[in-house]
Amino acid sequence: VNAPASEFALIDRHFRRPVQHADVRVGIGDDAAVIAPTPGAELAVSVDMLVEGRHFMAGADPKALGHKALAVNLSDLAAMGARPRFALLAGALPEPDEAWLDAFMQGFRALAQRHDVELIGGDTTSGPRNLCVTVIGELPAGAAITRAGARAGDDIYVSGTLGAAALAVAAARGNVALADADRDRLRARLDRPEPRVGLGLGLRGVASAALDVSDGLTGDLAHILEASGCGATLEWARLPADPAIAARLDGPDRALALRCLLAGGDDYELCFTAPAHSRASIAALSHALDVACTRVGVIDAGDALAVVDRDGAPLQPLPRAFDHFA
Ligand code: ADP
Ligand code: MG
């Protein structure tokens, strides 16, 4: 097991498995995978890259990383309402570390299995550690939930809770001290995000627009507003704050807590809009899936995002969303 491995031995040991789905006509081992799309289906395709030193620290737990590399991609498919089907994995590794790869693939495969996703190809190269996952999902024709469908009067919702991942990052940087009771939960939100695949599927035909909150709510919601040509008012006090965030909103860490809540990345919750007549179906969906869906604001005919407190007074200054090049 510890003998130096060739690229092809690594592929055979860690990536290649018997084909699982009949519509994978050619899987790992040829020059390209061949898949037979479901008749009438459209494909949703997304790719995300995790770079060491940027998205994760050197020495990060490889199993959690395998989970997260796939999870962030499944989250993108969820935001489109697509059913995940296939994945490709391109990885650069500084050395052929089999124990590392084994743990990485354990995390990757456990999540893939839960969503019945088949790994159909990839690329393996040496270089600074970098993991790049492509996912392919299926949708009934015309059913994709895009960012462009929000209309004035629509409600704005957020799934789950916000701010936990950003608070975990702040703690890792030594900017805030966490209670023992919070540490593991917050760290798990950062390291092992749970893509809202079931919610995305349930929102087909219900949500008018959706995206996943990867860079921070205000910045991400602004993408919906821009694509849909509308404005919005967000009531920040209604946001589903993680309890550790909520506890900090009235104290010395208030600025940090607000930043985590409104502009913290990495939560991978869904932010979506829907007309008011969908409230009952969304409540039923939320109940059936046991995923909170909180109404946090309303779309309007303007072109700006206002974040207000309970009395409608604007929150200023607005914390900014994460931007790799800002
Ligand atoms: P080529 O040189 O023709 O591009 P490769 O030698 O890179 O092919 O890959 C051989 C096979 O192994 C291909 O089917 C490719 O998709 C698969 N593969 C390589 N690396 C990975 C990986 N990290 N995960 C999944 N499949 C992989
Ligand atoms: Mg190759």
- Chain-centroid distance of CA 260 in Å reads 16
What is the reported pLDDT for 7? 87
- pLDDT score recorded for residue 322: 55
Distance 169 CA to ligand 2 centre (A): 35
Quote the pLDDT of residue 324. 55
Query: What is the three-class DSSP state of 62?
Result: helix
Q: Whose CA is nearest to atom 19 of ligand 1?
A: 123
Q: Which atom of ligand 1 is nearest to the CA of 29?
A: 14
**Looking at the DSSP assignment, which residues form a beta bridge with residue 213?**
269
For residue 151, what are the CA distances in angstroms to 146, 161, 245? 13, 24, 31
Q: Is the pTM of this model over 0.85?
A: yes
Ligand 1 close to Cβ of residue 6 (< 6 A): no
Query: For 201-248, what is each residue's pLDDT tens digit?
Result: 999 999 999 999 999 999 999 999 999 999 999 999 999 999 999 999
Residue nearest to atom 10 of ligand 1 (CA): 29
Burial 260-296 (b: 16+ CB within 10 A, else e): bbbbbbbbbbbbbbbeeebeeebeebbeebebebbbb
Output phi, psi for 127, to 5 deg. 155, 180
For residue 169, what pLDDT is reported?
A: 93
Strand partners, 35: 24
Residue 8 CA to ligand 2 center (angstroms) comes to: 10
Weakly modelled stretches of the chain, pLDDT under 70: 1-4, 320-326
For residue 31 and ligand 1, the question of a CB distance below 6 A is answered with yes
Å from CA of 139 to ligand 2 middle: 30
Can you give the pLDDT at residue 1? 46
Taking the centre of ligand 2 as the mean of its atom positions, its distance from the CA of residue 31, in whole angstroms, is 8
